[in-house]
Amino acid sequence: MKIRRMGIVAIALASTGALMLSGCAGGAESSAEGTIITTNGTEPQMSLIPTNTTEVGGGKIITSIFAGLVSYSASGEIQDEVAKSIESDDATNWTVTLNDDWTFTNDEPVTAQSFVDAWNYGALFDNAQGSSYFFDNIVGFSDVQNSKDDPSGAVGEDGAPLQVGDPLTDGMSGLKVVDDTTFTVELAGTEADWPLRLGYSAYSPLPSVAFEDMEAFGQNPIGNGPYMLASADAWQHDVQIDLVTNPNYAGVRTPKNDGLTIVFFASFDAGYAAVQGGDLDVLDQIPESALASYESDFPETFVNEPAAVFQAFNMPYYLEHWSGEEGKLRRAALSMAIDRAEITDVVFQGTRTPATDFTSPVIAGYSDSLKGSEVLEYNPEEAVAKWAEADAISPYTGTFDIAYNADGPHQVWVDAVVNSVKNTLGIDAVGKPYPTFAAAIDDRDTQALTGGTRAGWQADYPSLYNFLAPLYQTGAGSNYEGYSSAEFDGLLTEGAAASSVEDATAKYVEAQEVLLQDLPTIPLWYQNTSGVWSDTVSNVEFGWDSVPLYHEITKN
């Protein structure tokens, strides 16, 4: 699988005329023959609401049962789904026109109101949606980011400041429904690549029934994507979820099978054994225990190619010793105490590449020569010196730990990292396993960690910005460890508003150089797409984001 270098260059501001993304939303007829594809997954952390699903387990399901304005091809190019066209003369004011042949699986039409209501729900502060920041560039976002209990800074229609208990605006003023198939979006500034974002699941539409009881809806969602839940009890928590094809789907991802069963394995080793035994069709990640043997185990049915996946570990700012000048010194010491080259070679058998930035080599604008990137190189002498400087400020005692979820393939590399830290710095260091990803993310979310935590990012859309804003921008939904930098935030804002790809990339490079000074995360390596599949299936292809294109898979 060849993954093109694809980024904001895909949507460039024309010198004259309109910015346009247009075409028909049609797909080939299904060739399903009573076939269900089985694959692996993890129990979603939250109920299945598009604007509140920010982790891989839930995201895999959401993108299967919902269709947004656009989707992404295997190589990361945008392709129309519900959108007929997305146009702008100035890259600030956009007109979205929908195809009129779309319905949800309850037969409700997908309209402009379906998108506007869903986006407003996602942005409203009191709904506490994890992806609310994806709407922060729409005019009126700041007005809905005020709690009904504390409307500080918000104003009413008469311009007077709102008081506690006053009704807040129902939605962002930058979103306007024109008619059933047209709505307009006013952005706070110029964004030539705005359409590139819209394949992310947070921009999905919602049927009107969702707003009657959103929590209940999230347990049995009604979507408009290529698949739908097989029944009201299709989601067997901590076991699996059963999806079947949506007969009314009208997009470009028409399934060539009859559905998906996504099994929530306790470990990737269990999933690997299931593929070997013929009980699972596709496994989208190879466990460390099989890295030396997967090519011989599956000589014709494996993949090992670059993907838009970045891996790291984070140190919370709320913990003693990890903020201020002392924290900066300790973060740098940790980073230089890790022998990334040896770990990626020995532990990962060449299926990882040591990190030189905070993004991915398959994204346009990636750099291996950022100013300050020497902090990512193994340098035991400098690591010891910086740790000693930090101890001079406040001596470090106790055991250093890195939390990870044991239902993922993490124990071996976490052990390798903490051993490298222990041997270099001469401190006690251990891995701290959690039984599930949900349990691990809950402690991150509630600031209950006792040390570092496994972290990483699988891109939502192919852009440098997507690797930076959701994780490190002040208050962002996936900024669990509390990093905040006015300089970094400002550079992101300047990059997003740039009128050319080159200017935007330059700002994102500067922003990453700020991260290299502060190290809110310790970059480790880039993960390849590495998966295997049984000879019971054909036409298996993995996308730019390392997720299999499930709709293309056929049973033999």
- Tokens standing for residue 409: 């393939």
- Same domain as 333, residue 256: no
- Same domain as 314, residue 201: no
- Same domain as 498, residue 442: yes
- Tokens standing for residue 487: 């300089």
Which pLDDT does position 158 carry in this prediction?
58
Which pLDDT does position 162 carry in this prediction?
56
H helix intervals, 94-213? 112-123, 141-144, 194-197
- Same domain as 247, residue 381: no
Q: Report yes or no on 501 lying in a domain.
A: yes
Q: Report yes or no on 243 lying in a domain.
A: yes
Which pLDDT does position 294 carry in this prediction?
95
Distance of alpha carbon 534 from alpha carbon 278, whole angstroms: 7
- Same domain as 230, residue 310: no
Distance of alpha carbon 82 from alpha carbon 131, whole angstroms: 21
Q: What 3-state class would DSSP assign to 285?
A: coil
The answer to whether 97 touches 112, Cβ cutoff 8 Å, is no
Pairing of strands 400-405, 554-555: unpaired
The answer to whether 255 touches 226, Cβ cutoff 8 Å, is yes
Write the DSSP string, 474-508: TT-TT-TT----HHHHHHHHHHHT-SSHHHHHHHH
> In whole angstroms, how far apart are CA 269 and each of 301, 310, 408, 529?
17, 22, 9, 17
Side chain identity at residue 183, one-letter code: F
Distance of alpha carbon 406 from alpha carbon 399, whole angstroms: 20
Cβ neighbours around 201 below 10 Å, total: 26
Q: Report yes or no on 465 lying in a domain.
A: yes
- Tokens standing for residue 214: 């959103």
Looking up residue 59, the CATH number of its domain turns out to be 3.40.190.10
Dihedral over Cα of 475, 477, 481, 484: its sign: negative
Cα three-residue angle 449-455-457, rounded to 5 degrees:
145
The domain in which residue 225 lies consists of 8-139+174-260
Q: Report yes or no on 270 lying in a domain.
A: no
Q: Report yes or no on 546 lying in a domain.
A: no
- Same domain as 318, residue 251: no
- Same domain as 339, residue 211: no
Distance of alpha carbon 346 from alpha carbon 339, whole angstroms: 11
- Same domain as 430, residue 322: yes
Q: Report yes or no on 19 lying in a domain.
A: yes
Q: How many CA atoms lie within 13 A of 400 on its CB side?
A: 25
- Same domain as 373, residue 245: no
- Same domain as 525, residue 431: yes
- Tokens standing for residue 90: 């100035």
- Tokens standing for residue 349: 């058998």
Number of domains in the chain: 2
Q: What 3-state class would DSSP assign to 210?
A: helix
> Which residue from 9, 39, 15 is spatially nearest to 536, judged by alpha carbons?
39
Write the DSSP string, 358-425: SS-TTSTT--S--TTGGGGS--HHHHHHHHHHHHHHS---S-EEEEEETTSTTHHHHHHHHHHHHHHH
Distance of alpha carbon 442 from alpha carbon 419, whole angstroms: 26
Looking up residue 390, the CATH number of its domain turns out to be 3.10.105.10
- Same domain as 319, residue 388: yes
Q: What are phi and psi of 458, to 5 degrees?
A: -105, 120
The stretches in the chain having pLDDT less than 50 are: 1-33, 165, 167
Cα three-residue angle 213-219-222, rounded to 5 degrees:
75
User: What pTM did the predictor assign?
Assistant: 0.74
Q: Report yes or no on 540 lying in a domain.
A: no
> In whole angstroms, how far apart are CA 159 and each of 95, 133, 147, 430?
28, 25, 18, 56
Q: What are phi and psi of 539, to 5 degrees?
A: 60, 40
Q: What 3-state class would DSSP assign to 187?
A: strand
- Same domain as 113, residue 215: yes
Distance of alpha carbon 517 from alpha carbon 335, whole angstroms: 12
> In whole angstroms, how far apart are CA 347 and each of 289, 302, 415, 417?
9, 19, 10, 10
Distance of alpha carbon 362 from alpha carbon 444, whole angstroms: 28
Q: Report yes or no on 151 lying in a domain.
A: no
HEC per residue, 270-323: HHHHHHHCCCCCEECCCCHHHCCCHHHHCCCCEEEEEEEEEEEEECCCCCCCCC
pLDDT digits (tens, 9 = 90+) for 324-355: 999 999 999 999 999 999 999 998 988 899 99
